[in-house]
Amino acid sequence: MLDNLENIIRKRYHSFKIYIFLFFLIECLTGLFSNELPAILSSGPHEISGIDILGPNIIRAFKGEYTAGTFAISVIFTRAQVIVSQKQTKTTKCNKGNIFRHTGVLDDNTKVFFYKDPDGFILFFNFPDEFSRWCSFMEMFIDKFKYFLEFTQNENDIPFPAVVYFEF
């Protein structure tokens, strides 16, 4: 009886390993033919005091760092009321509204954008100058962020997605 039970367990365990292997194989092969790139949260979100791209301030915010291939992308979230001069903004051609380019940045090697949500929060995005898929990244990030934000219990729960897949 015990031998029979051990054989059943051994067969099921072997089948389970095969299913897991096939699952990962399919995921890998799907990724080879996909035109999506993952950006992985490598640090954060960490609470910061001050949003440096706005000049000297003590605005409470949260910062996360993403890695997409060889690119480093920073995202900053705040619920504070932030006023950015219209002289320092340009509208973007992204599909999602309320995304603006911040042109008052001191570093020429970066592109900075911000998203003003109707619910009052703001997201700042900092991309390396050579990164060209910023619209795709921001749109996917905003959609995921807003979805996860609905499930937060208090304002210290900052729902930065662990992985953001975007078209490249």
* pLDDT, average across residues 133-159: 91
pLDDT of residue 167: 80
Mean pLDDT, rounded, of the chain: 81
For 77-96, what is the mean pLDDT? 79
Position 102 confidence tier, pLDDT thresholds 50, 70, 90: confident
* Confidence band for 74, pLDDT divided at 50, 70 and 90: very high
pLDDT confidence of residue 92: 75
Q: Longest Cα pair distance anywhere in the chain, in angstroms? A: 81
pLDDT, residue 73, reads: 95
pLDDT at site 45: 94
Mean pLDDT across the stretch 77-81? 92
* pLDDT, average across residues 134-159: 91
Sheet containing 36-49, strands listed edge to edge, beginning at the edge strand earlier in sequence: 89-91, 99-102, 110-116, 122-128, 71-78, 60-68, 36-49, 163-167
CB-side neighbour CA atoms (13 Å) of 143:
12
pLDDT in tens, 23-63: 555 555 555 555 778 999 999 899 999 988 888 889 999 99
How many CB atoms sit inside 10 A of residue 72's CB? 16
The answer to whether residues 82 and 59 touch, using CB atoms and an 8 Å cutoff, is: yes
Confidence class for position 142, pLDDT limits 50, 70, 90: very high
